[in-house]
């Protein structure tokens, strides 16, 4: 269907200045432009150019994915997903096609899912980047591997440029020099990949990561509110936020599908959307950023249409010379860490996980969730490393006859009796090869020794008494070789033990788990980070060296500001239907409360918006039996102390107006019963 569009441009003014309406040509500096997007549930490919007419370029092919305007603007590359639903999820047999901009018969470019069109660099010709295969999944988010690239005139001649870790299809962009790529590895773990070194640098959790099409390696990431873009260069610039809530074209709604055009200052996106991200009138928009990417100069409503629109891609002519004012080709540390960082020792390292957002992240189970700085809160759940990460530990230890375990733990006081596993190396038959416990006020190790001709036995060692200081992290190192077991806390040797057997032949390929799925007694409250397993003994000097690095890191870390309050419930909206929640396994929810009493801390707000976990691991968090007008005690912390919440999905349907936002730090499912209504 053809229709004439209303085209408006709003320049974001300085304080007191009126909004100026200009044309799309003003936004692009008079250069030609072309815009492509998907409509009607992704089953129609739509295009628009300066002629001002929306055209359907491709339809009737089932669901499509990620339209890409080619580097010369002469065609659109798009993927036919060819989806088939099954018990294990939806399977895909994707095919990439190229459709001439003027219309015509699509040309097949072979199997796979296209994710980026690269213009080329120097003598290297341009290419299409695509995932060779897509994963079967029950989730709507598409992910695939390996990543290949090919020339459009030789689609059968393919080169693998990334493998070993799946990435999301929806937004994957390559730098101008072809060495870096931004994406989700997979959702929600955003990062910057070094395609030459085959490493990647985590950038946090969020959606729709987008990479500037110059060589600044600057990234944008849409946060959980869908009203703010987080901007940074991973491991180079800590970043800044672009708050888009006041854009006149959003009218207080949310945006979605942000993607950098081939011009380093111009992006496209869709909106405004309601809180849940669906329904309403969908519009494709464009905005131009200042050269330093720290402010919006103009925003443009490109389409006025009905129904949902998604995945826009904007091409601007003569964009190759446009660069941001940021440094070009900065040196980025590979693998998610700066030189001299953690882990200090790498020899014999079999498993090394620092924090969430890395390549070896554990899968969160139950009501475990990510905390500040990427720690894992396993107070009411557990976290299990993938088999490819945890499995090699067992064979390596069995062969070497030695092992070391290092971890950083942050606890809060718990009421005995209590017995909870902190770290477990679990054999394939379900027995424990080694398990570190918190038993009341002590740390206890149970380890399976013997095997390979020596009787197997489970030996138990009370490692040390540990006084729990709220929110103070401690580092524990256990190291064992030749029947000598040593325990270090914060770099200090606490005790040495002699094991009855010096072999570990009973360790069989299994799982490495943080937290306890079935704790005993009083609930334990704590977080885990910096978990490492070695297939060798660590010497005392090595342990001390590692503690020096950890201590330096902790001196720069601020403990959370905890406030215990009694508050009366004003409004707690119901969660939406199940279908919208399937977009993410974890959701925060907003509710409104009136502060009645402050027991600890310094809360001066009389009315607050409380952010709390409502869905974890795809399951609803038990809601306290509190009704409007009743009061309840809970702990709150400033949202600024919890930057991880910025990337989480948020259900905010409160109607009582704005109030200061606080994060409820109470462990999910552990709120005290409410006070009776007066």
SS (H, E, C) 571-619: ECCCCCCHHHHCCCCCEEEEEEEEEEEEEECCCCCCEEEEEEEEEECCE
Express each pLDDT in 509-544 by its tens digit: 899 999 998 899 888 899 999 999 999 999 999 999
Top pLDDT among 361 and 33 is at 33
How far apart CA 150 and CA 171 sit, in angstroms, is: 19
- In the chain the domains, ranked by start, together with CATH numbers, are 8-319 (2.120.10.30), 340-555 (2.60.120.200), 563-664 (2.40.50)
Q: How far apart are CA 149 and CA 162, in angstroms?
A: 10
pLDDT tens digits for range 269-300: 998 887 544 445 668 999 999 999 998 899 88
In whole angstroms, give the CA distance from residue 621 to residue 614: 5
Q: Answer with the residue of higher pLDDT: 578 or 568.
A: 568
User: Which sign, positive or negative, has the C-alpha torsion 669, 671, 672, 676?
Assistant: negative
What CA–CA distance (Å, rounded) separates 626 from 572?
A: 10
Q: What is the pLDDT of residue 579?
A: 58
Rounded to whole angstroms, what are the CA distances from 389 to 185, 337, 393, 510, 531?
15, 18, 8, 10, 12
> Which of the given ranges, 136-140, 369-373, 423-427, has the highest pLDDT on average?
423-427
CA distance 265 to 260: 8
Confidence of residue 164 (pLDDT cuts 50, 70, 90): low
Measured CA distances, 327 to 80, 212, 511 (Å):
38, 12, 43
pTM over 0.85: no
More confident residue, 677 or 356: 356
What is the pLDDT confidence band of residue 6, given thresholds at 50, 70 and 90?
very low
d(CA 338, CA 20): 45
Each residue's pLDDT tens digit, 461-478: 999 987 767 788 999 999
Q: In 253-264, which positions are buried (b, 16+ CB within 10 angstroms) versus exposed (e)?
A: bbbbbbbbbbbb
Q: What pLDDT score was predicted for residue 69?
A: 97
What is the DSSP-derived secondary structure letter of residue 392?
A: H
Q: Is the pLDDT of residue 495 over 90?
A: yes
Positive or negative torsion for Cα 575, 580, 581, 583: negative
Read off the pLDDT of each residue in 256-265 and give the average, rounded to a whole number.
95
280, 271 contact by CB (below 8 A):
no
User: Comparing C-alpha atoms, which of 423, 483, 492 is closest to residue 457?
Assistant: 483
Residue 305: pLDDT band (50, 70, 90) is low
Q: How many helices (H) and strands (E) does the chain have?
A: 4, 52
Using the predicted structure, report yes or no on whether residue 307 has a pLDDT greater than 90: no
């Amino acid at each position: 269907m053809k229709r004439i569009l209303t085209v408006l441009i709003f320049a974001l003014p300085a304080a007191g200045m009126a909004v100026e309406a200009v044309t799309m040509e003003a936004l692009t500096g008079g250069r030609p432009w072309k815009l492509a997007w998907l409509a009607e549930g992704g089953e129609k490919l739509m295009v628009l150019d300066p002629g001002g007419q929306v055209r359907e370029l491709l339809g009737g092919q089932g669901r499509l994915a990620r339209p890409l305007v080619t580097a010369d603007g002469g065609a659109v590359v798009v993927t036919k997903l060819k989806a088939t639903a099954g018990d294990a999820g939806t399977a895909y047999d994707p095919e990439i096609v190229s459709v001439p901009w003027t219309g015509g018969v699509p040309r097949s470019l072979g199997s796979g899912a296209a994710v980026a069109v690269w213009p080329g660099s120097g003598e290297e010709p341009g290419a299409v980047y695509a995932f060779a295969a897509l994963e079967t999944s029950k989730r709507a988010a598409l992910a695939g591997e390996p990543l290949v690239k090919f020339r459009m005139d030789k689609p059968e001649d393919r080169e693998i440029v990334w493998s070993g870790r799946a990435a999301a299809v929806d937004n994957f962009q390559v730098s101008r020099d072809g060495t870096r790529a931004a994406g989700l590895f997979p959702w929600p773990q955003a990062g910057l990949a070094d395609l030459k070194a085959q490493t990647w640098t985590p950038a946090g959790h969020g959606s729709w990561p987008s990479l500037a099409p110059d060589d600044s390696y600057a990234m944008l990431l849409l946060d959980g509110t869908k009203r703010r873009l987080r901007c940074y260069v991973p491991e180079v610039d800590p970043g800044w936020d672009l708050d888009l809530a006041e854009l006149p074209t959003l009218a207080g709604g949310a945006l979605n599908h942000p993607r950098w055009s081939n011009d380093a200052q111009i992006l496209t996106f869709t909106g405004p959307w309601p809180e849940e991200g669906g329904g309403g009138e969908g519009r494709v928009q464009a905005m131009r950023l200042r050269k330093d990417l720290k402010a919006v100069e103009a925003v443009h409503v490109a389409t006025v249409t009905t129904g949902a629109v998604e995945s826009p891609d904007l091409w601007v002519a003569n964009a190759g010379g446009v660069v941001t004012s940021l440094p070009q080709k900065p040196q980025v540390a590979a693998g998610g860490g700066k030189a001299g960082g953690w882990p200090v020792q790498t020899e014999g390292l079999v498993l090394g996980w620092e924090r969430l957002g890395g390549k070896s992240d554990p899968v969160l189970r139950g009501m475990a969730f990510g905390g500040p700085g990427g720690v894992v809160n396993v107070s009411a759940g557990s976290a299990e490393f993938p088999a490819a990460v945890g499995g090699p530990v067992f064979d390596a230890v069995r062969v070497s006859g030695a092992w070391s375990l290092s971890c950083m733990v942050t606890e809060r006081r718990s009421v005995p009796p209590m017995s909870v596993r902190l770290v477990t190396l679990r054999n394939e038959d379900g027995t424990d090869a080694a398990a570190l416990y918190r038993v009341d006020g002590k740390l206890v190790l149970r380890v399976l020794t013997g095997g390979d001709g020596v009787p197997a036995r489970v030996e138990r060692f009370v490692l040390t008494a540990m006084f729990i200081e709220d929110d103070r992290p401690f580092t524990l190192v256990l190291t064992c070789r030749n029947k000598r077991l040593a325990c270090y806390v914060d770099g200090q040797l606490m005790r040495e033990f002699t094991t009855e057997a010096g072999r570990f032949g009973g360790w069989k390929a299994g799982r490495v788990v943080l937290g306890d799925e079935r704790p005993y007694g009083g609930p334990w409250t704590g977080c885990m980070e910096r978990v490492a397993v070695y297939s060798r003994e660590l010497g005392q000097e090595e342990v001390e060296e590692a503690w020096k690095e950890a201590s330096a890191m902790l001196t720069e870390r601020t403990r959370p500001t905890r406030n215990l309050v009694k508050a009366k419930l004003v409004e707690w909206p119901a969660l939406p239907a199940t279908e919208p929640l399937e977009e993410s396994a974890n959701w925060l929810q907003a509710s409104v409360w009136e502060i009645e009493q402050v027991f600890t801390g310094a809360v001066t707000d009389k009315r607050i918006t409380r952010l709390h976990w409502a869905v974890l691991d795809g399951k609803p968090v038990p809601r306290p039996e509190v009704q409007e007008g009743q009061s309840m005690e809970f702990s709150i912390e400033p949202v600024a102390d919890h930057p991880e919440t910025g990337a989480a999905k948020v259900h905010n349907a409160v109607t009582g107006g704005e109030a200061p936002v606080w994060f409820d730090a109470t462990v999910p499912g552990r709120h005290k019963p409410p006070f009776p209504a007066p």
